[in-house]
Chain A
């Protein structure tokens, strides 16, 4: 009996440690929103984001209730393998009238230059906006090193602030369930 109890305790400790580790990864929306992203050249992407001009934009300026942000790297094999799934996420949102106007998907290439992001975009025929972050600015917004791909759901409050509502690390196993989880429709 003692052995059983001991075994149970050890199991519980290990399991709890796992949850603690998961909970420890946090994203600071305020720091994230301080990053200035280059407004895309493409008119279609400007329209998608609801922005104009040629200067920079901050995340809160994207015209959406919810922004799903993919943190990726063109060098990351999992991001490469997941690219087709992320494209499916984009298509899923665009094909749902109730989501299309409220939810926007963008990507930031962590540590990637504009050239590297462009290689990734062309290779996987990515239609949603991707932004470079060759200076690893996004890393300053997270509590631990970013494991790509990481997806962050950001809710926009009015026109001025954003908050983090969900974080998903790693592969997407079910596109519909993923989107529901990100937009809070679970």
Chain B
């Protein structure tokens, strides 16, 4: 086998390999997630209850802004959505679900703040593959999980719970759902809570 033939054989095999992977994995190969397996449902101690004043915080956003809970006081209701970590299965679908339900939030004069303990570059890459997200995505990376800790949803492994806090325009907590970390919170339950907000 001469050099030219060897190169041709190699070339054909490489093309075969590439086409094989394209057909098998297709476009969604780019959307890879890490599956941590079944985790302890809840691994933190509650610090807040319905009726409490929601602790204020200021966190950096993927948009480049600094976002404070207090800036919405008297203007908008706020849904705070903590998710455990970027690039994990349930989290990678929960926010895309909210992303196509903007009308549900707008109709109830509510903004959504998504928070994880990941850093900004990670959140930038992660939310980028979701398409354009209309809500603010905040990083509680440093001091690590400080806001999650204040809300009583920091898990022992440094991630946060899958938790929702609905805060009204007066800054009071109206609804808390510290959800089983392995399970997607149902959208209709959230819709019902949003509908209960004072109009």
Contact = CB atoms under 8 A, between A and B. Distances in A.
Given A1-B6, A11-B13, A123-B100, 8 more contacts: A4-B1, A11-B10, A15-B13, A18-B24, A76-B96, A77-B31, A81-B131, A147-B28
B187 A116 contact: yes
A120 interface: yes
Interface in A147-185: 147, 169-171, 173
B13 A8 contact: yes
B17 A11 contact: yes
A19 B24 contact: yes
A87 interface: no
B13 to A, nearest CB: 4
A44 interface: no
Interface string A5-16: 001100110110
A79 B9 CA distance: 39
B31 A7 contact: no
23 contacts: A1-B1, A4-B6, A4-B10, A7-B10, A8-B13, A11-B14, A15-B13, A18-B24, A19-B20, A21-B24, A75-B184, A77-B131, A78-B28, A80-B99, A81-B131, A113-B188, A115-B186, A115-B187, A119-B187, A170-B25, A170-B27, A171-B28, A173-B27
A74 interface: yes
B129 to A, nearest CB: 7
Contacts of B134: none
Given A74-B97, A113-B187, A8 B23 contact: no
Contacts of A81: 131
Given A4-B6, A12-B13, A74-B100, A22 B188 contact: no
Nearest to A134: B186
Given A75-B184, A77-B131, A120 B24 contact: no
- By DSSP majority rule, is chain B's interface helix, strand, loop, or mixed? helix
The 4 closest A-B pairs by CB, nearest first: A170-B26, A75-B93, A115-B188, A75-B97
Contacts of A4: 1, 6, 9-10
A18 B10 contact: no
Contact of B101 (A15, A77, A78, A119): A119
Contacts of A19: 20, 24
B97 A113 contact: no
B191 A116 contact: no
A77 B20 CA distance: 24
Nearest to A170: B26
B96 A75 contact: yes
Contacts of B1: 1, 4
Contact of B28 (A18, A120, A170): A170
Interface string A88-128: 00000000000000000000000101011001100100000
Contacts of A78: 27-28, 31
A73 B13 CA distance: 36
